Amino acid sequence: MKIAFTTSDRVHINAHFGWAKMIDVYEISDEGYHFVETLTFEGELKEDGNEDKITPKLDAIVDCTIVYVTAIGGSAAARLIKKGVTPVKARSEEEEINEVLNKLVKTLKGNPPPWLRKALQPKTKNFADEIEDEATV
């Protein structure tokens, strides 16, 4: 599965989802993890009530299972969840990406907590999502 991290330095989970200029993506399993790519976003990303600025991020991480953030707005979180991506808040801006990845690998080897088991379930589209996708084509 793929895990995304909002970051400003590619070491720490230290960026707000809406303001993040970089999102690092990793592939992870119970055997380990590896870096996949850094997604970059341009433009004015500071808080301004403009919901359209998060659409490219939502589209870019739709194949991720989880996204770790320092903060996220309610509507962005709801839109992620609707797309089957679980937002998780980092403990602090000092939390390191590799620490979280190492903990996740250990957790996947053992008995994942209910929230992670739910996040790991295959994504399914409901009828309303399919209609919405057709309307945006």
Token pair for 100: 């979280």
Res 57 pLDDT > 70? yes
pTM passes above 0.85:
no
What pLDDT, on a 0 to 100 scale, did the predictor assign at position 49?
54
Rounded average pLDDT over 112-118? 82
Q: Please state, as a whole number, how many other Cβ atoms lie within 10 Å of the Cβ of residue 117.
A: 10
What pLDDT, on a 0 to 100 scale, did the predictor assign at position 9?
96
Q: Is 7 left (phi over 0), alpha (psi -120 to 50) or beta?
A: beta
Rounded average pLDDT over 43-58? 68
Ramachandran angles phi, psi of 5, nearest 5° = -135, 125
Q: Could you give the CA distance from residue 60 to residue 39 in angstroms, rounded to a whole number?
A: 8
What kind and span of H or E run contains 23? strand 22-29
CA angle 23, 108, 110 (to 5 degrees): 155
Q: Could you give the CA distance from residue 31 to residue 23 in angstroms, rounded to a whole number?
A: 23
CA angle 54, 55, 60 (to 5 degrees): 100
- Cα dihedral 88/91/93/98 (nearest 10): -80
pLDDT confidence of 22, banded at 50, 70, 90?
A: very high
